[in-house]
Structure 1
Amino acid sequence: MSASTHWIATACMQSVLERGGNAFDAAAAGAFVLHVVEPHLNGPGGDMTAILATAEDPTPVVLMGQGPAPAGATIEHYRSEGLTAVPGTGALAAAVPYAVDAWLLLLEERGTWELEDVLSYAIDCAENGHPVLASVSTQIATVSQTFTEHWPSSAALWMPEGTPPVAGELIRNPEYAAVLRDLVAAGGGIEPHAAGGGIGIEPEAPSGREARIAAARERWRTGPVAQAVTEFLRTPHRHSDGADHAGVMTLGDFAAIEARVEPAATSTFRGWTVAKTGAWGQGPALLEALGILEGYDDDHLDPSTEQGAHTILEALKLALADRDAHFGDGDVDLERLLSPDYLAARRALITEAASHEFRPGALGDSPSARPPLLTEDELAQRTGQPVDRGTGEPTVRATGEARGDTCHLDVVDRWGNIISATPSGGWLQSSPTIPGLGFCLGTRLQMMWLDEDLPSALRPGRRPRTTLTPTLVLRDGAAVLACGSPGGDQQDQWQLLFLLRVLVGGLDLQQAIDAPALHTLSMPGSFWPRTWSPGRAVVEDRLGEDLLAGLAARGHDVIRAGDWSLGRLSCVMRDPRTGILRAAANSRGSQGYAAGR
Structure 2
Amino acid sequence: MPDPTTRPELRGDFGMVSSTHWLASATGMSVLERGGSAVDAAVAAGFTLQVVEPHLNGPGGEVPILFQPAGGTPTVLCGQGPAPAAAVPTAFDGFDRIPGTGVLPACVPGAFDAWMLLLRDHGTLGPRDVLDHAIAYARRGYPVLPAIAAKITGMREVFARWWPTSAALYLRDGRAPRAGAFLANPLLAATYQRVVEECERAARTREGRIDAARRIWREGFVAEEIGAFLAAPVPDHTGTPHRALLGPGDLAAWRASYEEPVSAEYAGYTVHKTGPWGQGPAFLQQLRLAEALGTGELDVLGADFAHAVTESAKLAFADREAWYGDPAHTDVPLADLLCRGYAEHRAALVDDAASAALRPGSPGGRTPFVPDPCLTRTAAAAAPGGEPTVARTGEPVARPADGAAAAGAAHELERLPGDTPGVPAEQRGDTCHLDVVDRRGTMVSATPSGGWLAGSPAVAGLGFPLGTRGQMFWLDPRSPGVVAPRKRPRTTLSPTLVTRGGEAVLAFGTPGGDQQDQWSFTYFLRLVHGGSDLQGAIDAPMFHTNSFPSSFHPREMAPGELVVESRAGRRVIDALRARGHRVVVSAPWSLGRLAAVARDPATGVLRAAADPRGAQCYAAGR
Asked if these proteins are the same fold (TM beyond 0.5), I'd say: yes
Q: CA deviation at 1:257?
A: 2.2
Question: Which residue does 2:149 correspond to in 1?
Answer: 137
User: Paired residue for 1:123?
Assistant: 135
| Amino acid corresponding to residue 36 of structure 2 in structure 1 | G
Cα RMSD over matched residues?
1.6
1:75-114 alignment runs, 5 A limit = 75-79=89-93, 82-114=94-126
| Residue 379 of structure 1, CA deviation | 8.7
Of 214, 236, 239, the residue aligned with 1:217 is 214
1: CA distance, partners of 2:393 / 2:478: 30
- Match of 2:261, as an amino acid? A
> What CA distance in whole angstroms lies between the structure 2 residues aligned with 1:30 and 1:36?
10
1:351 partner letter: D
Paired residue total: 577
What is the TM-score when the length of structure 2 is the normalising length?
0.90
How many Å separate the matches in 2 of 1:301 and 1:596? 33
Inter-CA distance 388–23: structure 2 relative to 1 (3 Å threshold): farther
- For structure 1, the residue ranges without an aligned partner over 5 or more in a row are 189-202
Contact 1:446 1:528 in 2 (8 A): yes
Instruction: Decide whether the 8 Å contact of 1:388 with 1:397 is kept in 2.
Output: no
CA distance in 1, matches of 2:138, 2:614: 23
Alpha-carbon distance between aligned partners in 1 of 2:203 and 2:225, rounded to the nearest angstrom: 25
Question: Aligned to 1:374, what secondary structure does the other structure show?
Answer: coil
> Aligned ranges for residues 237-386 of structure 1 at < 5 Å?
237-239=234-236, 243-297=240-294, 301-330=298-327, 331-377=331-377
Q: Tell me the SS of whatever aligns to 1:295.
A: helix
Which has the larger displacement, 477-486 or 330-339?
A: 330-339
Q: CA deviation at 1:396?
A: 3.5
In the alignment, is residue 64 of structure 1 matched against residue 61 of structure 2? no
| 8 Å Cα contact 2:379-2:558 kept in structure 1 | no
1:19 maps to which residue? Answer: 34
Residue matched to 1:197: none
State the shift of 1:241 in Å: 6.7
Using the alignment, how far apart are the partners of 2:259 and 2:46 within structure 1?
Answer: 20
Letter in 1 for 2:119: L
Provide the residue aligned with 2:417 in structure 1: 398
- Worse-superposed segment, 574-583 or 367-376: 367-376
Return the letter of the residue paired with 1:398.
P
Q: Tell me if structure 2 keeps the 8 A contact 1:376–1:387.
A: no
Quote how far apart the aligned CAs of 1:159 are: 0.2
- How far off is 1:238 after superposition? 2.8
The CA distance in 1 between the partners of 2:295 and 2:557, in whole Å, is 30
The one-letter amino acid of 1:181's match is Q
State the match for 1:577 in structure 2. 602
For residue 378 of structure 1, report the CA deviation from its aligned partner: 7.5
Contact persistence 1:300–1:307 (CA under 8 A): no
Partner of 1:8: 23
- Give the Cα separation in 1 of the matches to 2:295 and 2:575: 19
Q: Could you tell me how far 1:214 is from its partner in structure 2?
A: 0.3
Q: Distance in 1 between matches of 2:610 and 2:164?
A: 37
Residue 412 of structure 1 is matched in structure 2 by 437
Mapped contact 1:298–1:504 kept (Cα < 8 A): no
Counterpart of 2:226 in structure 1: which amino acid?
A: V
Change (3 A) 1:33 1:349: same
Distance 2:17 2:164 in 1: 38
Distance 1:397 1:554 in 2: 28
Q: Distance in 2 between matches of 1:540 and 1:502?
A: 19
Q: Which amino acid aligns with 2:610?
A: A
Aligned-partner Cα distance in 2 for 1:301–1:224: 57
Q: Distance in 2 between matches of 1:300 and 1:91?
A: 49
Distance (whole Å) between structure 1 residues aligned to residue 441 and residue 333 of structure 2: 32
State the SS of the aligned residue for 2:169.
helix
Structure 1 residue 503 displacement after superposition = 1.0
User: Are 2:163 and 1:151 aligned?
Assistant: yes
Q: Would the aligned equivalents of 2:295 and 2:308 in 1 still touch at CA under 8 Å?
A: no
SS in 1 for 2:518: helix
**Residue by residue, what CA displacement relative to the aligned partner does 1:303-327 show, whole Å, maximum 9, x if unpaired?**
4101111011000000000001100
Distance 2:294 2:431 in 1: 34
Contact preservation (8 Å) 2:293, 2:347: no
Q: Secondary structure at the match of 1:225?
A: helix
Q: Is the 8 A contact 1:101 1:257 kept in 2?
A: no
Structure 1 Cα separation of the partners of residues 66 and 144 of structure 2: 29
Aligned-partner SS, 2:78: strand
Pair 1:49-2:64 in alignment: yes
Which residue of structure 2 lines up, in the alignment, with residue 427 of structure 1?
A: 452
Rounded to whole Å, the distance in 2 between the matches of 1:530 and 1:389 is: 18
Please say if residues 456 and 466 of structure 2, whose CA atoms lie closer than 8 Å, have aligned partners that are also in contact. Answer: yes
Per the alignment, residue 161 of structure 1 pairs with 173
Per-residue deviation, 1:559: 0.5
Pairwise CA distance, 1:232? 1.2
Cα distance in structure 2, aligned partners of 1:405 and 1:417: 27
Please point out which of 205, 209, 216 is paired with 1:208.
Answer: 205
Alpha-carbon distance, 1:242 to partner: 6.3
Q: CA deviation at 1:298?
A: 5.2
Structure 2: tracts of 5 or more residues without a match: 1-15, 382-391, 398-408, 419-424
Contact 1:380 1:386 in 2 (8 A): no
- Letter of the aligned partner of 2:50 in structure 1? H
- Cα separation, 2, equivalents of 1:72 and 1:154: 26
Percent of residue pairs identical? 49
Structure 1 contact 48–99 (Cα < 8 Å) conserved: yes
Secondary structure of 1:119's counterpart equals helix
Cα 1:145–1:40 shift into 2, 3 Å: same
1:331-390 CA distance string (max 9 Å, x none): 312111111110001111001000000000012443111122110137978xxx975545
TM-score by length of 1: 0.94
Tell me which moved more, 123-132 or 391-400.
Answer: 391-400
Counterpart contact for 1:63–1:259, Cα < 8 Å: yes
Query: Do the aligned partners of residues 301 and 493 (structure 1) sit closer, same or farther apart at CA in structure 2, a change above 3 Å counting?
Result: farther
1:239 Cα deviation after fit: 2.5
Contact 1:141 / 1:164 at 8 angstroms: preserved in 2? yes
Secondary structure of 2:614's match?
helix
Partner of 1:554: 579
Q: Which segment is superposed worse, 169-178 or 228-237? A: 228-237
Over residues 477-512 of structure 1, what are the superposed CA-to-partner deviations in whole Å (9 max), with x where a residue is unaligned?
Answer: 111000000000000100011101101112100000
Report which stretch shifted further, 256-265 or 385-394: 385-394
Segment of structure 1 superposing worse, 531-540 or 206-215: 206-215
In 2, the alpha carbon distance for the partners of 1:301 and 1:523 equals 25
Instruction: Write out per-residue CA displacement over residues 140-161 of structure 1, whole angstroms, 9 at most, x where no aligned residue.
Output: 0011111111111111110032
Q: How does 1:580-595 map to 2 (within 5 A)?
A: 580-595=605-620
Q: Which one-letter code corresponds to 1:371 in the other structure?
A: P
State the 1:431 CA deviation. 0.4
What amino acid sits opposite 1:152 in the alignment? P
Matched, 1:494 2:519: yes
- Corresponding residue SS for 1:538: strand
**Distance in 2, Cα, partners of 1:451 & 1:388:** 31
